[in-house]
Amino acid sequence: MPMFSGAARASGKFFRRAVAAPRSPVWAMAARASSSGPAQQLPFLPPFVEELGNVTIAPIESAKSLHPAFYIDDQYVQAERERIFGMHWFAAAHTAELSTPGDVKVIEVGGTSIIMTCDKDSKIHAFYNVCRHRGARVASKDEKGCKQLVCPYHWWAYRLDGTLKSTPPAATPKERKDLLGLQPVPGLETFAGIVFLNQAPNSVPLAESLGDLPNKLARYDLGNLEHAGKKEYTIQGDWKLIAENFVDFYHINAVHPELAKFSRVDDHQPYQGPGQYVGFVTSPLTDSGGPGDSHHFNAFKGPYPVETTAALFFQVFPNISVTIYPHSVYTLMTFPTQHPGVTKEVLSLLMAPGAKKEEDPEEEYKEKCQKLFDFVANINDEDVVAIENLQNGLRNARARGLHGEFLPKYDWPIHRFQNMVLQGIRGSTVNEDNMPVLCGAFQRQVADANEVGRAHAGAPVLVEVSDHAREGPRA
């Protein structure tokens, strides 16, 4: 995939490299260096992590789910937050939210506040939300049409590219102002219409952590989605439970009666390859008289026929859940707060380019989008109830020293995600040798379609299926 240096632009290629940095080994140390100072010590992990985590790292047939302490122990949860969100790429925003000069977005990740901007040249930037004068917060909310960032304490003003503009009423020499811009977040890249950040200097490129996921999504125009709705939540549950709930299709019949008509449990298949993600599909989707039925919107134009009747689900480690329907995308982006067991979540609905049918008046199209958003939001509301119930249950389970159990047929996605967490707190990536080999009928059909396209066009393979996946057990 094409990559380039400099700040990311708000539109264009599918995959962008925004900050040029020399490649380095994957971080496995307990210190994080600051781009402007000496290494900062990351929080140490409680002693129980090694002992209780070993049973989850085991192959799924003999493994047990993460111990409840990993969700409710204050010392562990805070150390995990700093390590995972301090050493790994994480999702921060959609490019559609930062597509116009003057767009400003503020996010909070634990105790860290970050400002993202789209400057006059349509480049996306990310800075720590700290004024260089006395350390006050510069921005407190998202904005549209912003001309400059002004600290409310002494009115120091910054351009949207982070450079210091003025220090009223004092006149500061240019050579000094050049040194006093907002401190940038070290790593910024965009992928699939999502802005990813990395707080570790000299981080490995995002592509190295994504594995084969860019190839799986190459036929979907995810860089030009239309933002159609957003809902924010404060959930009384650990951020990991939200990710685990997303990849847990086993709960659909019990929790989501309406979704079960459209996306049936038995129609879920693995769509997994190497990389820091969990992937599966529902194929085929079932039109059920609901707002997500295929005839309401135009579909993405690029996918193979087998992909046009499927829903794709990807949990990209650590904090974004992506659902791709034939005509739309919805995401769940989660941010741990300073309070263990409390998570901020943002649900977004984005429509495929050209999703509006030509015969539909604009108002009718907007009404269809609103009904689809209401359908998706209702599903998520049901999930919030289930997640908060699970968080409460884990407090009770910890008191009794209980580990959860895995059913390999249904729980392989949770096992994979939990292994990414356990490796991630050490600065490493999932051990693929410990993961089950998975290949469903859908993955084989995509591989076959790609081979046919290659034979006709004489072009290289776009979606690569490794030999072990092609020959692995059928789902």
Tens of pLDDT, residues 146-173 = 999 999 999 999 999 999 999 999 888 8
Quick check: 12 pLDDT over 80? no
What is residue 255's predicted lDDT score, i.e. its pLDDT?
83
* Closest to 50 (Cα-Cα) out of 31, 27, 69: 69
Greatest CA separation for the chain? 71
Q: 305 Cβ partners below 8 Å, 6+ apart?
A: 449
Tens of pLDDT, residues 69-103 = 999 999 999 899 999 999 999 999 999 999 999 99
Quick check: 6 pLDDT over 70? no
State which of 18-27, 100-109, 424-433 shows the largest mean pLDDT: 100-109
pTM (predicted TM-score)? 0.87
What is residue 404's predicted lDDT score, i.e. its pLDDT?
87
Tens of pLDDT, residues 161-204 = 999 999 999 888 899 999 999 999 999 999 999 999 999 998 99
Tens of pLDDT, residues 444-474 = 999 889 888 777 666 554 444 333 333 333 3
| Backbone angle region of 471, left / alpha / beta, with phi > 0 → left and psi within -120 to 50 → alpha | alpha
What is residue 17's predicted lDDT score, i.e. its pLDDT?
39
What is residue 468's predicted lDDT score, i.e. its pLDDT?
34
Mean pLDDT of the chain: 86
C-alpha 351/C-alpha 243 separation (Å) is 23
Confidence of residue 8 (pLDDT cuts 50, 70, 90): low
Tens of pLDDT, residues 415-443 = 999 999 999 999 899 999 999 888 778 98
What is residue 36's predicted lDDT score, i.e. its pLDDT?
39
**Token pair belonging to 168:** 């009223």
Q: Give the residue, 56 or 263, on which the prediction is more confident.
A: 56
Average pLDDT over residues 249-264: 78
Quick check: 296 pLDDT over 60? yes
What is residue 470's predicted lDDT score, i.e. its pLDDT?
33
Tokens 């096992």: give the residue: 415
Other C-beta atoms within 10 Å of 188: how many?
25
C-alpha 396/C-alpha 404 separation (Å) is 12
Bond prior to 305 in cis (omega within 30° of 0) = no
C-alpha 454/C-alpha 449 separation (Å) is 9
Identify any residues that bridge with 190 across adjacent strands, giving them in sequence order. Answer: 16, 195
Confidence of residue 395 (pLDDT cuts 50, 70, 90): confident
Residues counted in the chain? 475
What is residue 466's predicted lDDT score, i.e. its pLDDT?
37
Quick check: 23 pLDDT over 80? no
Tens of pLDDT, residues 200-224 = 998 999 999 999 999 999 999 999 9
Q: Which residues of 11-49 are buried (b: 16+ CB within 10 A; e: fewer)?
A: eeebbbbbbebeeeeebeebebeeeeeeeeebeebbeeb
What is residue 25's predicted lDDT score, i.e. its pLDDT?
29
What is residue 41's predicted lDDT score, i.e. its pLDDT?
65
Tokens 């003057």: give the residue: 102
Tens of pLDDT, residues 234-253 = 999 999 999 999 999 878 88
Secondary structure in 3-state letters for 61-104: CCCECCCCHHHHCHHHHHHHHHHHHHHCCEEEEEHHHHCCCCCE
